[in-house]
């Protein structure tokens, strides 16, 4: 039998203690309530602990697996695929010329992704060729019984190129008459996001409340300093916002008194045509929004067009 000397015993005890300290210190980080972790990080001005909070969040609510997704019906599966094809916060130029530019999320490490989406179907066409669009507009103008002959002539006037004006095509756009009906919603939406290595964190009710409690509600009212100026955070709320923006990007709500926490674009709804050949994604991008059209090409959804149609 091997003889154990006192020094060997002592060394073993020391090693065991160090291992236990390491394990328990790691467990302590993740056993703290998320709210306490965030507050502690802010008060200590510790960006590394803010990152620990965000990592813990990503582990608490992880993306859906292929096995989990396969258990859902085809509509849900296609909604996931459509969103993943659409959602590119690192390439915002793919859907718009935003007033915020295309590099909003260039320097962040984490993306706050929506945890809910509505799913619709429609009997209307979703995608129109240029000629189909023009035919639709002409029919709508000609069918408008209350329109005077003078106004009809005005709207149907063509340019030197023989085409209707963008003004006419926009005012009588088929998308202005678009009708759909909701068939489902995903309340635990956790798409697998791959955006230049940025980590997705899903905005569940729990984390929405944590961030809102942390940020508070100090703000400069809408129109202060200029009628077009949106509401903006101030004071302690602004300081806390700046701290969070070491790793994420958030916005104060345009009208004041609330936060816009998601990493845009936000898909407010996804609408499929009856053959699921095309999909329309109605989206928000900070203080503006519009819709994007995607096509199902052999089971893979591809973005084919996008336009901004409104602004707050």
pLDDT tens digits along 164-215: 999 999 999 999 999 999 999 999 999 999 888 999 999 999 999 999 999 9
Write b or e for each residue in 97-118: b if 16 or more Cβ atoms lie within 10 A of its Cβ, otherwise e.
ebeeebebbeebebbbbbbbbb
Residue 243, Cβ neighbours under 10 Å: how many? 18
Cis check: omega of the bond before 265, within 30 degrees of 0: yes
Residue identified by tokens 């400069």 is 220
Q: If pLDDT is split at 50, 70 and 90, which confidence band does 20 have?
A: very low
**Best CA proximity match to 132, nearest among 123, 140, 143, 142:** 140
Least confident of 7-21, 24-38, 42-56, 142-156: 7-21
- Asked if residue 10 has pLDDT above 90, the reply is no
Asked if residues 210 and 35 have their Cβ atoms less than 8 Å apart, the reply is yes
Give mean pLDDT, residues 277-302: 96
- Asked if residue 31 has pLDDT above 90, the reply is no
Integer CA distances (angstroms), 250 to 55, 61, 177, 211, 246, in order: 17, 19, 34, 10, 11
Q: Which residues, at least 6 apart from 69, have a Cβ–Cβ distance to it below 8 Å?
A: 76, 77, 80
Residue identified by tokens 């519009």 is 290
Distance CA 237, CA 69 (A): 39
Asked if residues 201 and 58 have their Cβ atoms less than 8 Å apart, the reply is yes
State pLDDT tens for residues 247-274: 999 999 999 999 999 999 999 999 999 9
Q: Measured in whole angstroms, how far is the alpha carbon of residue 98 from the centre of its chain?
A: 15
Instruction: Say what the pLDDT of residue 102 is.
Output: 83
Residue spans of the domains in the chain: they are 1-31, 58-124+180-311, 130-177
Q: Measured in whole angstroms, how far is the alpha carbon of residue 54 from the centre of its chain?
A: 17
- Asked if residue 100 has pLDDT above 70, the reply is yes
Residue identified by tokens 């203080």 is 287
Asked if residues 110 and 58 have their Cβ atoms less than 8 Å apart, the reply is yes
Instruction: Say what the pLDDT of residue 196 is.
Output: 87
Write out the two tokens for 294.
């995607």
- Asked if residue 15 has pLDDT above 90, the reply is no
Angle between helices 34-43 and 47-60 (to 10 degrees): 160
State pLDDT tens for residues 73-91: 999 999 999 999 999 998 8
- Asked if residue 28 has pLDDT above 90, the reply is no
Distance CA 230, CA 226 (A): 9
Q: Is 41 helix (H, G, I), strand (E, B) or coil?
A: helix
**DSSP structural state of residue 222:** T
Could you tell me where the beta strands, DSSP code E, fall in the chain? 110-113, 117-122, 181-186, 199-202, 219-220, 232-233, 251-252, 259-260, 266-273, 278-285, 288-297, 300-311
Distance CA 96, CA 36 (A): 39
Instruction: Say what the pLDDT of residue 217 is.
Output: 95
Instruction: Say what the pLDDT of residue 96 is.
Output: 81
Q: Which residues, at least 6 apart from 197, have a Cβ–Cβ distance to it below 8 Å?
A: none
- Asked if residue 27 has pLDDT above 50, the reply is no
Q: If pLDDT is split at 50, 70 and 90, which confidence band does 2 have?
A: very low
pTM of the model: 0.85
């Amino acid at each position: 039998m091997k003889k154990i000397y006192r020094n060997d015993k002592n060394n073993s005890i020391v090693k065991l203690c160090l291992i236990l300290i390491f394990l328990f210190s790691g467990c302590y980080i993740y056993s703290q309530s998320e709210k306490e972790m965030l507050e502690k990080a802010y008060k200590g001005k510790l960006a590394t602990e803010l990152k620990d909070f965000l990592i813990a969040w990503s582990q608490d609510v992880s993306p859906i697996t292929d096995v989990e997704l396969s258990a859902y019906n085809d509509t849900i599966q296609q909604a996931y695929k459509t969103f993943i094809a659409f959602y590119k916060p690192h390439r915002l130029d793919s859907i718009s010329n935003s007033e915020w530019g295309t590099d909003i999320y260039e320097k962040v490490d984490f993306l706050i992704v929506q945890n809910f989406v509505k799913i619709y179907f429609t009997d209307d066409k979703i995608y129109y060729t240029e000629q189909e669009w023009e035919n639709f507009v002409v029919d709508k103008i000609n069918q408008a019984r209350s329109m005077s002959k003078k106004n009809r002539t005005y709207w149907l006037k063509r340019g030197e190129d023989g085409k209707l004006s963008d003004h006419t095509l926009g005012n009588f756009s088929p998308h202005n008459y678009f009708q759909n009906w909701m068939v489902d919603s995903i309340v635990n939406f956790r798409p697998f996001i791959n955006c230049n290595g940025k980590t997705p964190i899903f905005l569940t009710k729990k984390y929405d409340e944590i961030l809102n409690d942390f940020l508070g509600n100090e703000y400069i009212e809408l129109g202060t300093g200029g009628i077009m100026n949106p509401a903006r955070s101030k004071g302690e709320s602004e300081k806390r916002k700046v701290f969070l923006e070491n790793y994420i990007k958030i916005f104060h709500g345009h009208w004041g008194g609330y936060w816009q926490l998601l990493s845009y674009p936000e898909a407010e709804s996804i609408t499929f045509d009856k053959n699921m050949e095309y999909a329309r994604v109605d989206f928000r991008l900070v203080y503006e929004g519009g819709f994007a059209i995607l096509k199902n090409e052999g089971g893979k959804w591809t973005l084919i067009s996008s336009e901004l149609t409104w602004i707050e």
